[in-house]
Amino acid sequence: MREQPWGEDEKLREECGVFGIYDFDGNDVSHTIYYGLLSLQHRGQESCGIAVSDTAGPKGRVKTYKGMGLVGEVFTADNLAGLGHGNIGVGHVRYSTAGASIRENAQPLVLNYIKGTLALAHNGNLVNTPELKRELEHDGAIFQTTIDSEIMAYHIARARVHSGSAEEAVKLAMRKVVGAYSLVIMSPRKLIGVRDPFGFKPLCIGKRGNAYLLSSESCALDTVGAEFVRDVRPGEIVCITRDGILSDSSLCLPPEREARCVFEYIYFARPDTKIDGVSVYHARVAAGRFLAKDHPAEADLVVGVPESGNAAAQGYAQESGIPYGTAFVKNSYVGRTFIKPSQESRESGVQVKLNVLKEAVVGKRVVMVDDSIVRGTTCRRIVKMLRAAGAKEVHVRISAPPFLHPCYFGTDIPSEDHLIAHGKNVEEIREALEADSLGYLEIPRLSQMADGLPVCSACFSGKYPIAPPGEDIRGDYIK
Amino acid sequence: MREQPWGEDEKLREECGVFGIYDFDGNDVSHTIYYGLLSLQHRGQESCGIAVSDTAGPKGRVKTYKGMGLVGEVFTADNLAGLGHGNIGVGHVRYSTAGASIRENAQPLVLNYIKGTLALAHNGNLVNTPELKRELEHDGAIFQTTIDSEIMAYHIARARVHSGSAEEAVKLAMRKVVGAYSLVIMSPRKLIGVRDPFGFKPLCIGKRGNAYLLSSESCALDTVGAEFVRDVRPGEIVCITRDGILSDSSLCLPPEREARCVFEYIYFARPDTKIDGVSVYHARVAAGRFLAKDHPAEADLVVGVPESGNAAAQGYAQESGIPYGTAFVKNSYVGRTFIKPSQESRESGVQVKLNVLKEAVVGKRVVMVDDSIVRGTTCRRIVKMLRAAGAKEVHVRISAPPFLHPCYFGTDIPSEDHLIAHGKNVEEIREALEADSLGYLEIPRLSQMADGLPVCSACFSGKYPIAPPGEDIRGDYIK
Amino acid sequence: MREQPWGEDEKLREECGVFGIYDFDGNDVSHTIYYGLLSLQHRGQESCGIAVSDTAGPKGRVKTYKGMGLVGEVFTADNLAGLGHGNIGVGHVRYSTAGASIRENAQPLVLNYIKGTLALAHNGNLVNTPELKRELEHDGAIFQTTIDSEIMAYHIARARVHSGSAEEAVKLAMRKVVGAYSLVIMSPRKLIGVRDPFGFKPLCIGKRGNAYLLSSESCALDTVGAEFVRDVRPGEIVCITRDGILSDSSLCLPPEREARCVFEYIYFARPDTKIDGVSVYHARVAAGRFLAKDHPAEADLVVGVPESGNAAAQGYAQESGIPYGTAFVKNSYVGRTFIKPSQESRESGVQVKLNVLKEAVVGKRVVMVDDSIVRGTTCRRIVKMLRAAGAKEVHVRISAPPFLHPCYFGTDIPSEDHLIAHGKNVEEIREALEADSLGYLEIPRLSQMADGLPVCSACFSGKYPIAPPGEDIRGDYIK
Amino acid sequence: MREQPWGEDEKLREECGVFGIYDFDGNDVSHTIYYGLLSLQHRGQESCGIAVSDTAGPKGRVKTYKGMGLVGEVFTADNLAGLGHGNIGVGHVRYSTAGASIRENAQPLVLNYIKGTLALAHNGNLVNTPELKRELEHDGAIFQTTIDSEIMAYHIARARVHSGSAEEAVKLAMRKVVGAYSLVIMSPRKLIGVRDPFGFKPLCIGKRGNAYLLSSESCALDTVGAEFVRDVRPGEIVCITRDGILSDSSLCLPPEREARCVFEYIYFARPDTKIDGVSVYHARVAAGRFLAKDHPAEADLVVGVPESGNAAAQGYAQESGIPYGTAFVKNSYVGRTFIKPSQESRESGVQVKLNVLKEAVVGKRVVMVDDSIVRGTTCRRIVKMLRAAGAKEVHVRISAPPFLHPCYFGTDIPSEDHLIAHGKNVEEIREALEADSLGYLEIPRLSQMADGLPVCSACFSGKYPIAPPGEDIRGDYIK
D267-306, pLDDT tens digit by residue? 999 999 999 999 999 999 999 999 999 999 999 999 999 8
User: CA nearest B109 in A: which residue?
Assistant: A144
All partners of chain B with 3 or more CB pairs under 8 angstroms: A, C
Kindly state the greatest CA–CA separation across chain C: 73
ipTM of this model? 0.90
Helix, strand and coil content of chain A, in percent to the nearest 5, comes to: 30, 25, 45
User: Is C348–B34 a contact, with Cβ atoms under 8 angstroms apart?
Assistant: no
User: Is A335–D335 a contact, with Cβ atoms under 8 angstroms apart?
Assistant: yes
Q: What are phi and psi of A439, to 5 degrees?
A: -135, 130
Let me know: does D329 contact A1? Beta carbons within 8 Å: yes
| pLDDT at residue D336 tops 90 | no
- Three-state DSSP at B122 gives strand
User: Is C111–D139 a contact, with Cβ atoms under 8 angstroms apart?
Assistant: no
**B16 classed as catalytic:** yes
Secondary element (H or E) of residue D271: none
How many helices (H) does chain B have, and how many strands (E)? 16, 24
Let me know: does D266 contact D284? Beta carbons within 8 Å: yes
Using a CB-CB cut-off of 8 Å, the residues of chain B touching A145 are 144
Let me know: does C21 contact C211? Beta carbons within 8 Å: yes
- Three-state DSSP at A97 gives coil
Q: What are phi and psi of B37, to 5 degrees?
A: -65, -35
A274-322, pLDDT tens digit by residue? 999 999 999 999 999 999 999 999 999 999 998 889 999 999 999 999 9
Sequential pLDDT tens for chain C (479 residues): 333 333 344 677 767 999 999 999 988 899 999 999 999 999 999 899 999 999 887 766 899 999 999 999 999 999 999 998 899 999 999 985 433 557 778 899 999 999 999 999 999 999 999 999 999 999 999 999 888 899 999 999 999 999 999 999 999 999 999 999 999 999 989 999 999 999 999 999 999 999 999 999 999 999 999 999 999 999 999 999 999 999 999 999 999 999 999 999 999 999 999 999 999 999 999 999 999 999 999 999 999 998 889 999 999 999 999 999 999 999 988 877 788 888 878 777 788 899 999 999 999 999 999 999 999 999 999 999 999 999 999 999 999 999 999 999 988 888 888 899 999 999 999 999 999 999 999 999 999 999 999 999 999 999 999 988 866 544 443 32
Q: Distance from B333 to chain C by nearest Cα, in Å?
A: 7
User: Is B334–C72 a contact, with Cβ atoms under 8 angstroms apart?
Assistant: yes
Which pLDDT does position C4 carry in this prediction?
34
What number of C-beta contacts closer than 8 Å exist between A and B?
83
User: CA nearest C99 in D: which residue?
Assistant: D63
The reported pTM is 0.90
Residues constituting chain A: 479
**Residue D375 corresponds to which amino acid?**
R
User: Is A350–D35 a contact, with Cβ atoms under 8 angstroms apart?
Assistant: yes
Written in H, E and C, the secondary structure of chain C is CCCCCCCCCCCCECCEEEEEEEECCCCCHHHHHHHHHHHHHHHCCCEEEEEEECCCCCCCCEEEEEEECCHHHHCCHHHHHCCCCCCEEEEEEECCCCCCCCHHHCCCEEEEECCEEEEEEEECCECCHHHHHHHHHHCCCCECCCCHHHHHHHHHHHHHHHCCCHHHHHHHHHHHCCECCEEEEEECCEEEEEECCCCCCCCEEEEECCEEEEECCCHHHHHCCCEEEEECCCCCEEEEECCEEEEECCCCCCHHHCCEECHHHHHHCCCCCEECCEEHHHHHHHHHHHHHHHCCCCCCEEEECCCCCHHHHHHHHHHHCCCECCCEEECCCCCCCCCCCCHHHHHCCCCCCEEECHHHHCCCEEEEEECCCCCCHHHHHHHHHHHHCCCCEEEEEECCCCCCCCCCCCCECCCHHHCCCCCCCHHHHHHHHCCCEEEECCCHHHHHHCCCCCEECHHHHCCCCCCCCCCCCCCCCCC
B246-296, pLDDT tens digit by residue? 999 999 999 999 999 999 999 999 999 999 999 999 999 999 999 999 999
Q: Which residues of A touch B (CB under 8 A)?
A: 64, 102-104, 109-114, 118, 137-146, 150, 153-154, 157-161, 478-479
CB-CB neighbours of D475 under 10 Å:
16
Secondary element (H or E) of residue D99: none
Q: CB-based contacts of C123: which residues, under 8 Å, 6+ apart? A: C15, C16, C17, C18, C43, C181, C182, C183, C201, C203, C216, C410
Using a CB-CB cut-off of 8 Å, the residues of chain D touching C143 are 111-113
Q: Mean pLDDT for chain A?
A: 91
All partners of chain C with 3 or more CB pairs under 8 angstroms: B, D
Q: Which DSSP symbol is given to D413?
A: P
User: Is C270–B329 a contact, with Cβ atoms under 8 angstroms apart?
Assistant: yes
